[in-house]
Amino acid sequence: MKPSLKIMMTVFNLTLNLNLQPQIIGFSPEVDTLFTAGGCTPTQIIASYIKNNDNIDTIKISPGSNTRFWSGNYCYYDCAYFLIHDSLNRYRPELWMEPFQEDFHHSILIPFDSSTGFDSRNYLFKLKLFNDNIIVDSLSQLCHARIGIGVTDKRPTIIADNFYLSNYPNPFNQATTVKYHIAQKSRVKILAYDINGRLVDSLIDNLLIPGSYTHQWQTDRLRSGQYFILLKSEYNSVARKCLLLK
C-alpha cells in the first residue's frame, strides 16, 4: 500500500527542516562606521532580543539616556539592530563588543535587557549565533566612540518612523505588488529570501527620495513556498513573510 499524502508531506517537511540553518541577514543602519558618544561620560547601550512570528528576529541595540548614535553624514538614529532568520528557533544569539586595532584587549559579552557602559574608542558590535555551543554564523559592525565631547556639534537629521512594507495579494500566484514607504532620502534595497535564508531575488537597489512606491515582483522562476521580502534603507529595515502558490 502506498503511503498517504499526509505521511509523505510530513517526511518531506522533516527533511527540509533538518537542512535549515540560522542566518544573520544584516545590520541596520547600513553604514561603514556607526559613531557613538556619551558626552563626558562613557557610552551606554541597551541590547534586547526580540522574537518575531515571521521568523525574522531582531537584536536591537538602543543608546542609553546619555548616548547618541549617528553616521558620518550626521544622521542620528534611535537604535541599531541585527536581523536574524531562523525557522527552527534552535540558535542562541550572543552580542559581543570586541577589540578593533588593539584599542582594548578583551571581548565583552553584552547581556540582553540591561545597560552596558564602555569607553573604548574603536570596537566591533559582533553578533554570534550558536547551535550546541558551535558558532553557525556571525556578523560584525565597526563602531567609533567619541569620548569627552558633546554630541550636538552639528544639527542632526531626525529619522522619522514612517517606514513600512506590504505586499498584495498574499498568498499570491506568479506575481505580487510590493508597496513601501521611506521617510528619508536613502539608498534602498528590496531583497527576497527563501525559507532557508538564501537570497533568491533582488527587486530594488536605487537611491530614492521620501515617498511611497510600488514594485511588481514576478516569480515565474521560483517554486511554491514561503518567502521573506526585506526592505533596507540606510536608516531602517523591515521584513515581511509571503506565500507563493502555483
Predicted TM-score (pTM) of this structure: 0.59
| End-of-domain residue from the set 146, 170, 199 | 146
- Helix-strand-coil split of the chain, %, nearest 5: 5, 55, 40
Among the residue ranges 73-77, 177-181, 225-229, the one predicted with the least confidence is: 73-77
**151 occurs within a structural domain:** no
Please report, as a single letter, which amino acid is at residue 139.
Answer: L
Please report, as a single letter, which amino acid is at residue 68.
Answer: R
Same domain for 182 and 142: no
**236 occurs within a structural domain:** yes
Same domain for 198 and 107: no
What is the extent of the structural domain holding 57?
5-146
Same domain for 30 and 119: yes
Same domain for 125 and 232: no
Q: What are the residues whose beta carbons fall under 8 Å from the beta carbon of 152, sequence distance 6 or more?
A: none
Over the stretch 162-215, which tens digit does the pLDDT of each residue have?
Answer: 677 888 898 898 899 998 888 877 888 999 988 777 889 999 998 888 888 999
Same domain for 115 and 39: yes
Interstrand relation of 122-131 and 114-118 (parallel, antiparallel or unpaired) = unpaired
Same domain for 239 and 129: no
**152 occurs within a structural domain:** no
Per the structure, the count of domains in the chain is 2
Over the stretch 13-23, which tens digit does the pLDDT of each residue have?
Answer: 433 444 456 78
Please report, as a single letter, which amino acid is at residue 29.
Answer: P
End-to-end CA distance of the chain: 29
Over the stretch 140-163, which tens digit does the pLDDT of each residue have?
Answer: 999 887 655 443 333 333 344 567
Same domain for 126 and 177: no
Same domain for 24 and 138: yes
Sign of CA dihedral 187, 78, 60, 56: negative
Sign of CA dihedral 17, 127, 69, 63: positive
**154 occurs within a structural domain:** no
**153 occurs within a structural domain:** no
Same domain for 12 and 84: yes
Residues 189 and 207: their CA atoms lie apart, in Å, by: 9
Q: Average pLDDT, whole number, for the chain? A: 78
Cell numbers of 236, please?
531602517
